[in-house]
Amino acid sequence: MLTLGFARRFTEYQRPNLLLHDPERLCRLLTVRERPVQIVVAGKAHPKDAAGKWLVRKWIQLVYEHPEGRAHVVFLEDDGIALAQALVCGVDAWINTPRRPWEACGTSGMKVLVNGGLNVSVLDGWWNEAYEPAVGWAVGDRESHGAAAHEPSPASDAADAEHLYHLLETEVVPAFYERDALGLPHAWVARVRASMARLVPRFSTNRMLREYVERLYHPGKDRFARRSAYDRALVRELQAWQHDLAGAWQAVRIGSVAFSPHEGEQVCAAQVFLGTIPPDAVRVQLFADGTEPGGSPVVVELARGQAIPDADGGWLYRGTAPDGRAPERYTLRVVPYHPDALVPLEADQILWQR
């Protein structure tokens, strides 16, 4: 029997009762004679979350009020790691229907991947990044309804429930039950293969831990060793650097900033006045937003040229803005710099061109 499952914190924005939107339709879906479906639900509500507890009661009620569906739905009490482990490896498909955009992550759906389960989920949290049609099913659209997590949005809840039923009836159940002569559900297996092959390497604890080690823990260990060496000489140097920056930053200012075209690129020449701050203690950069929404910003380091005579720590900086975009899309900025410091964590000054 096709086994759907989910385990949730029973709280309003998680919408654990979205499947109960139309109990008659749900019971019909569960009890088609040749294509039966069963649902395993687990979860807890916070003792002070009355709405959450009411949502648990709605699932229990369904089981009592619809005798024909009773054999097809089970609510498991006391959700915990052991129960979750059995659930994520026992279900064929995992359902997650939070209200967008309030799902932080949705790790339980990732746990299903390695067990060969498929995801049927709202495009939020990890599924918003992972979903493509070959690997599972998406409930609803990418719109966000309701400004607050607890702000109900009846119209979009109804639309998402309708879409979820429709997906289950017309895609999920058929894909599971359409079998060849040997009893193999090819469309289903193809999705399982795509889901495991494409998503397991990305959404895995191995990948996460390796990245923590390579990007953070090892560099952190090396940094600690450098700072501890020679009686912590580097620590004292960094403290003096921080102290000097903090005391003198107010005097930093940006003078003229001019662009001139040169061989299809924009050459920037800028005056920066650093007061008593040594020029090696800062970087002067051109900054522009990424070209796509959410894309990485463009940061161009300018090179320091001559000192400006008789000026208060004044220097000329030059650099080339690379990608042909208009000069007014760039903003000059001055930020602290030390080869061993973490900026902005350890020095958060920043001066933007006005």
Instruction: For residue 11, give the 3-state DSSP assignment.
Output: coil
Return the amino acid letter for 311. A
* Residue 107 touching ligand PLP (CB under 6 A): yes
Which of 31, 113, 42 is closest to 75 using CA atoms? Answer: 42
Instruction: Between 60 and 105, name the residue whose CB sits nearer to ligand PLP.
Output: 105
Window of 23-31, 101-109, 201-209, 219-227 that interacts with ligand PLP by CB under 6 A: 101-109
Instruction: Between 22 and 79, name the residue whose CB sits nearer to ligand PLP.
Output: 79
Smallest separation (angstroms) from ligand PLP to the CB of 46 = 13
Interface residue with ligand PLP, options 63, 84, 196, 343 (CB under 6 A): 84
Q: Is residue 140 within 8 Å of residue 122, measured between CB atoms?
A: yes
Interface residue with ligand PLP, options 32, 68, 80, 218 (CB under 6 A): 80
Smallest separation (angstroms) from ligand PLP to the CB of 132 = 20
Which residues have a Cβ under 8 Å from the Cβ of 273 and sit 6 or more positions away?
251, 252, 253, 254, 255, 308, 311, 312, 313, 314, 315
* Residue 81 touching ligand PLP (CB under 6 A): yes
Tokens in use for 68?
């024909």
Instruction: Between 32 and 86, name the residue whose CB sits nearer to ligand PLP.
Output: 86
Window of 107-115, 150-158, 241-249, 251-259 that interacts with ligand PLP by CB under 6 A: 107-115
Pairing of strands 93-96, 253-262: unpaired
* Residue 106 touching ligand PLP (CB under 6 A): yes
Window of 102-110, 229-237, 282-290, 298-306 that interacts with ligand PLP by CB under 6 A: 102-110
* Residue 108 touching ligand PLP (CB under 6 A): yes
**Distance in angstroms (rounded) separating the CA atoms of residues 15 and 9:** 10
> Is the dihedral angle over the CA atoms 54, 57, 59, 64 positive or is it negative?
negative
* Residue 105 touching ligand PLP (CB under 6 A): yes
Task: Convert 75-109 to b/e letters by CB count within 10 Å (16 or more is b).
Answer: eeeebeeeebeebbeebbbbbbbbbbbbbeebebb
| Residues at the site binding ligand PLP, with contacts judged by CB under 6 A | 79-81, 84, 105-108, 111
